[in-house]
Amino acid sequence: MSLLSTFASNLKRYRTERGLSQEEFAGIAGLHRTYISAIEREKRSISLDNIEKIAVALGIDAYLLFVDNDNHPLLQKKSKEVR
């Protein structure tokens, strides 16, 4: 998975886990809804300033937006232990 794909997937997952629409989330992050939509659809790259805004709005450390949960060895091990 590319870095852009990982970021887009994680953004959407964290946003939906919090029950926020793109419009609600964009308002919290101080960004435009169409920009959030374009990021989630992998149509736009993103600046470090906006990565920070998104992480703050989600209440997470920014690096978590770049972690490929499907291919991360530590996260795979934990999910196998839960089963």
Q: What is the pLDDT of residue 83?
A: 42
- Nearest CA to 66 out of 28, 9, 26 is that of 9
Is residue 80's pLDDT more than 90? no
- CATH code of the domain in which 32 resides: 1.10.260.40
The pTM (predicted TM-score) of the whole model is 0.82
Structure tokens at 53: 């805004």
Question: What band does 75 get if pLDDT is binned at 50, 70 and 90?
Answer: low
Residue 7 lies in domain: 3-82
Q: What is the pLDDT of residue 78?
A: 46
Q: How far apart are CA 4 and CA 7, in angstroms?
A: 5
Q: How far apart are CA 72 and CA 43, in angstroms?
A: 25
For residues 3-19, give the mean pLDDT.
97
% of the chain at pLDDT higher than 70: 84
Structural domains of the chain, count: 1
